[in-house]
Structure 1
């Protein structure tokens, strides 16, 4: 009975259509790019995908309406290298991640140094 209610309501069919389109877009071909071969080395790009969607429907003054949307983000994370029968995953380092790591490490060193200084002052 719920299925019939979903199909009959504008929000059920609308949200289902968005979900179908988003899931079709987030497939393996998007995550793993087309292989590229040069000089005996094959490289396959690898990404991670994040997607979301939402929708809704309502009535106001006797009129019905529905709306919604969605989006997807693909982030490169590395590549698969195939060379001489050996396969290796090579991650791509994000420079912003390294900057954040150094900043956090610097703060941790500063706080540790302050704590040690306070201990020796006592």
Structure 2
């Protein structure tokens, strides 16, 4: 059969390109399984601690990311192009859950800078804004 409908059919990729793609997918799935199982609050901060009738359970934000690529052959000379990958993980403490006498209470860990910088910025702004407004009014009259 000939005609414009059949000339635009997509070319089939060689089996080598498909096997490289499948290998990349398998590698990424394997990395996700291994990292996902290890990137946890327990891995970073340890197990909950119980002492004197109080249990403390750490709470954290844990994340990981990674990426990778595959190689392929190019052109009639079978010149190879490579690929690579990388990844990382991180954890940030958010607080802890304290269980005492059957009652659980979440206690956040506050950033000390927010306790100092925000009130200081508000104080400076409260003092500077009225002076700025007066200077602008004087300028508008002149």
TM-score by length of 2: 0.63
Q: What is the root-mean-square deviation of aligned Cα atoms in Å?
A: 3.2
Q: Which has the larger radius of gyration?
A: 2
Task: Select 1:19's aligned residue among 32, 36, 39.
Answer: 32
- 1:1-122 equivalence runs, <5 A: 8-9=19-20, 10-27=23-40, 29-30=42-43, 33-59=46-72, 62-102=79-119, 104-106=121-123, 108-109=125-126, 111-118=128-135, 121=138
Q: Which shows bigger deviation, 32-41 or 49-58?
A: 32-41
Quick check: 2:41–2:61 contact (8 Å CA) kept in 1? Answer: no
SS at match of 1:57: coil
TM-score by length of 1: 0.71
Identify unmatched segments of 5+ residues in structure 2: 1-15
The count of aligned residue pairs is: 118
- Which sits farther off after the overlay, 103-112 or 19-28? 103-112
Alpha-carbon deviation of 1:48? 0.7
Q: Structure 1: 5+ residue runs without aligned partners? A: none
Higher relative contact order (CA 8 A, sep 6+): 1
Whole-angstrom CA distance in 2 between matches of 1:111 and 1:6: 65
Whichever structure has more strand as a proportion of its residues is 1
